[in-house]
Amino acid sequence: MRIKTNSGSGSPSGSSGVGIVIVTGVSGAGKSQALKILEDFGYFCVDNLPIFLVRNFLEMLGRPYAVPMNKVAMGLDIRARSFVDELPKVLEELRASLIRYRILYLDASVEVLLRRFSETRHRHPLSTRALHDAIKTEHSQMVKTRAIADKVIDTSSLTLGELKEAISSFLGVSDQREMNLAVVSFGFKYGLPIDADLIWDVRFLPNPNYIAKLKPLSGLNTEVQQYVLKNPKAKEFMKQFVRMLTNLIPQYIKEGKSYLTLGVGCTGGRHRSVAIAHEFAADLRHAGYSVREFHRDADKGG
């Protein structure tokens, strides 16, 4: 039997067609975290998909009205009835349909899984047994699936960042620039941005609000930018600012962080913070990062 798709065909090891990553493994080993990491790498992810719906799901992806996708990840595990028996049949159909796939298997020691289930108080899929017995039984039932996996990752002692690095290596992608950066300027008089991870206060810089011709303008105006940025304090601040962030960002990425919001504040959020945030965003783009830029209070009159 073949799975009908209109997405093009290629061999399982080829580069064309739908690229499927099947994420599986023992319960509690980190499948949900792995799927979140795959989402950060641009994959369309579906978790807990019943094994008997895999064919329908892949056929839907090939329909003309479906959103085009060439990176798809499916979370499959023993919660789906007949998973162990049905998976080989599904894989055979994928091969017959020339749909390439890779299997990522997540594992962990019995001791670590016992601790994780005790801490989270989640029910084990085989909860009719004692927890220790359920974990050992699942390990036993998943032996054949583990044996056919393209990659086995033991998460027993891995941090989230290390798991991301292992998955990145498996997929052959680089996460050195996989960070969604946002720079937001704001006025302290209107409160801190609630989503900011890091905050900088630039109220130590001379305030254009007291210059009559600059007061009605914002920090996006060239004259205001020149006034703010030509100041030696601003130049030194920007130098240290950029140096620190370009050192910090790779560390955040290494620890698995995908989003970072940087807040730059002055009194009213109209002049100094806007000029600095705009310049800072430009410097980060020049360093190779994708940056979104927001000026929350620039239109509030300072």
Q: How far apart are CA 74 and CA 54, in angstroms?
A: 9
Question: Is 289 inside any structural domain?
Answer: yes
Same domain, 147 and 72: yes
Structural domains counted in the chain = 2
Residues 6+ apart with CB under 8 A from 168: 41, 174, 175
Same domain, 156 and 207: no
Same domain, 42 and 155: yes
Same domain, 143 and 242: no
Question: Is 301 inside any structural domain?
Answer: no
One-letter amino acid at 16 equals S
**35-49, 75-89, 263-277: range with highest mean pLDDT:** 263-277
pLDDT over 70 at 158, yes or no: yes
**32-41, 85-94, 266-275: range with highest mean pLDDT:** 266-275
**17-31, 221-235, 242-256: range with highest mean pLDDT:** 221-235
Question: Is 7 inside any structural domain?
Answer: no
Same domain, 148 and 92: yes
Q: How far apart are CA 231 and CA 172, in angstroms?
A: 45
**Bridge partners, 107 (sequence order):** 154
Provide mean pLDDT across the span 290-296. Answer: 92
Question: Is 9 inside any structural domain?
Answer: no
Q: What pLDDT does 53 receive?
A: 84
**Comparison of pLDDT for 68 and 91, the residue scoring more:** 91
Question: Is 277 inside any structural domain?
Answer: yes
Mean of per-residue pLDDT scores for the chain: 85
Among 160, 5, 146, smallest CA distance to 68 is for 5
Q: What pLDDT does 272 receive?
A: 96
Region for residue 178 given its phi and psi (left: phi exceeds 0; alpha: psi -120 to 50; beta: otherwise): beta
User: What distances in angstroms separate CA 185 from CA 20, 105, 117, 277, one per listed residue?
Assistant: 41, 43, 43, 6
Q: Of 110, 142, 171, at which residue does a domain stop?
A: 171
Same domain, 120 and 199: no
pTM: 0.62
Q: Of 171, 199, 220, at which residue does a domain stop?
A: 171
Question: What domain range includes position 261?
Answer: 180-295
pLDDT over 90 at 16, yes or no: no
Q: How far apart are CA 206 and CA 272, in angstroms?
A: 8
Same domain, 269 and 159: no
Question: Is 73 inside any structural domain?
Answer: yes
Q: How far apart are CA 134 and CA 104, in angstroms?
A: 22
Determine what percent of the chain falls in helix, strand and coil, rounding each to the nearest 5: 40, 15, 40
pLDDT over 90 at 85, yes or no: no
Query: Residues 232, 234, 238, CA angle at the centre, nearest 5°?
Result: 120
Q: How far apart are CA 295 and CA 224, in angstroms?
A: 15
Confidence of residue 7 (pLDDT cuts 50, 70, 90): very low
Provide mean pLDDT across the span 192-196. Answer: 90
Question: Is 69 inside any structural domain?
Answer: yes
pLDDT over 70 at 64, yes or no: no
Question: Is 4 inside any structural domain?
Answer: no
Q: CA neighbours within 13 Å on the CB side: how many for 75?
A: 22
Confidence of residue 63 (pLDDT cuts 50, 70, 90): low
Same domain, 210 and 95: no
Q: Of 139, 171, 203, at which residue does a domain stop?
A: 171
